[in-house]
Amino acid sequence: MLISDFDFDLPEDRIALRPAEPREAAKLLRVDGSRLTDSHVGDIADFLLPGDVLVVNDTRVLPTQLDGVRLRDDSTVSIEATLVKSTGPAQWQAFLKPGRKVKPGDNLLFKSDDAELRALVSAKDDNGLYTLDFYHSPQELLERLHVVGGMPLPPYIRSKRHEDEQDKRDYQTIFATDEGSVAAPTAGLHFTPALLEKLDAKGVSFVRVTLHVGAGTFLPVKVEDTRDHVMHAEFGVVSEDAATRINAARAAGSRIICVGTTSLRLLESACDAQGTIRPFSAETAIFITPGVVVRSCDLLITNFHLPKSTLFMLVCALAGTENMKKAYRHAIDTGYRFFSYGDASLLTNISK
């Protein structure tokens, strides 16, 4: 398939720069085959059944956005760094801006009023990722990162405004406990204590899994054919308890609903040909495109994704390409807000 098959026109004013307040006030588009229903996230219990299981990603976003300077001889240049993957005890891969001003051997300094981070640029790869070796112990690096770093908002938000204190609250889900992501699993951003109580009263339960969202969130698809695209690898864990609970729910005839594409990608990596979930602790680079059968879930809660993105391809695989193109046209025409801080959709899996 061609990447251009998954393109669409999105007006810039449809990109959400802040989440809805309260979170569950966000719009919800129910996509059940070709049938579309407009609603709100706060009413999602109306579409769920007692016994349904929501699978949520409990990863927590690290403050990996850094502003600092490049140090070389007697000259300094302002540098913006986004750490995207830990590759050692005190080593990270990062995007640097402007990258043309940095080369291996340079030193970088990031500081606030209360702390500073220093790193050596040790390498640069063909994808434009730099390797930074920090002059700190792993524990010291983590502690200082929480003081110096900001939330790594997606480029389509950062190009419109700066990260601020509000984002430190807005860009974490209510489920976030296991630190390690460089981007939020955004479907989970819609959930609040009030909504969890409503779902619990309906008889809907939650199972936690962990997928640390990585660099691929920021990387565009650069090939013309989907067969030539190489997915990024992300580390995920499905515990034995989580696998047992999901399998028991399915055996009892209940539905499995993934909250977010990260949860879905992880479950698909952990399930066998019959859809049985196995305990899992490894990196996954699974790439789900139309024609792939999604075996692990019945429904998906997800935000509205970028044109030509692997995530839009995934929802097309799950719910049908023509159905999703119709749904996205409807969403654009009726004022739905897109991307990380935007509105949500509830999709039926028709691939099985």
Q: What is the pLDDT of residues 65-112, one digit of tens each?
A: 999 999 998 889 999 999 999 999 999 999 999 999 999 999 999 999
218 versus 132: the higher-pLDDT residue is: 132
Asked if residue 84 lies in contact with residue 215, where contact means CB atoms within 8 angstroms, the answer is yes
Question: What pairing do the DSSP bridges indicate for beta strands 299-303 and 256-259?
Answer: parallel
- Residues of the chain within CATH 3.40.1780.10 domain(s) are 3-61+169-348
Q: Using alpha carbons only, how large is the chain's radius of gyration in Å?
A: 20
Residue 144: predicted pLDDT:
96
**Closest residue by Cα to residue 304 from 347, 244, 270:** 347
Q: Which two tokens stand for residue 168?
A: 């430190």
237's enclosing H/E stretch is strand 234-238
Would you say how long the chain is, in residues?
352
Q: Residue 110's closest CA among 60, 164, 147?
A: 147
* For the chain, percent of residues with pLDDT exceeding 90: 89
The pLDDT, as a whole number, for residue 188 is 98
Question: What are the tens digits of pLDDT across the range 279-328?
Answer: 999 999 999 999 999 999 999 999 999 999 999 999 999 999 999 999 99
Print the SS3 string covering 47-103.
Answer: HCCCCCEEEEECEEECCCEEEEEEEECCEEEEEEEEEEEEEECCEEEEEEECHHHCC
DSSP-assigned states of every residue in 138-170: HHHHHHHHHHH-B----HHHHTTS---HHHHHH
Q: In angstroms, rounded to a whole number, what is the distance separating the alpha carbons of residues 324 and 317?
A: 9
Question: Which tens digits make up the pLDDT trace of 241-250?
Answer: 999 999 999 9
- Calpha distance 154→142 (Å, rounded): 21
User: Residue 125 pLDDT > 80, yes or no?
Assistant: yes
The answer to whether 237 touches 278, Cβ cutoff 8 Å, is: no
- For 283-340, give the secondary structure using H, E and C: EECCCCCCCCCCCCCCEEEEECCCCCCHHHHHHHHHHCHHHHHHHHHHHHHCCCCECC
Query: Could you tell me where in the chain the CATH 2.40.10.240 domains are found?
Result: 65-149
Neighbours of 225 (CB within 10 A): 10
* 65-149: CATH number: 2.40.10.240
pLDDT digits over 142-161, tens only?
999 999 999 999 988 988 99
Please tell me the distance from the alpha carbon of residue 331 to that of residue 156, in angstroms, as a whole number: 19
Residue 44: strand, helix, or coil: helix
**What confidence category does residue 218 fall into, taking pLDDT thresholds of 50, 70 and 90?**
low
CA distance to 86, 134, 143, 256, 301, per residue, from 139 (Å): 13, 12, 6, 38, 36
Least confident of 16-20, 82-86, 329-333: 82-86
Q: Is the pLDDT of residue 28 over 90?
A: yes
- Band the pLDDT of 217: cuts 50, 70, 90: low
CA 225 to the chain's CA centroid: 23
CA-CA distance, 288 to 10, in Å (whole number)?
23
Q: At 22, is the pLDDT very low, low, confident or very high (cuts 50, 70, 90)? A: very high
Distances (CA, A) of 113 to 116, 146, 149: 8, 13, 12
Q: Which residues contact 162 (CB under 8 A, 6 or more apart)?
A: none
Question: pTM to 2 decimals?
Answer: 0.95
CATH fold group of domain 3-61+169-348 = QueA-like (3.40.1780)
Tens of pLDDT, residue by residue over 222-233, are 889 988 888 888
What is the Cα–Cα distance from 332 to 304, expressed in whole angstroms?
Answer: 10
Residue type, 186: T
Q: Is the dihedral of CA 206, 211, 212, 215 positive or negative?
A: negative
Measured between alpha carbons, how far is 78 from 158 in angstroms, rounded to an integer?
Answer: 17
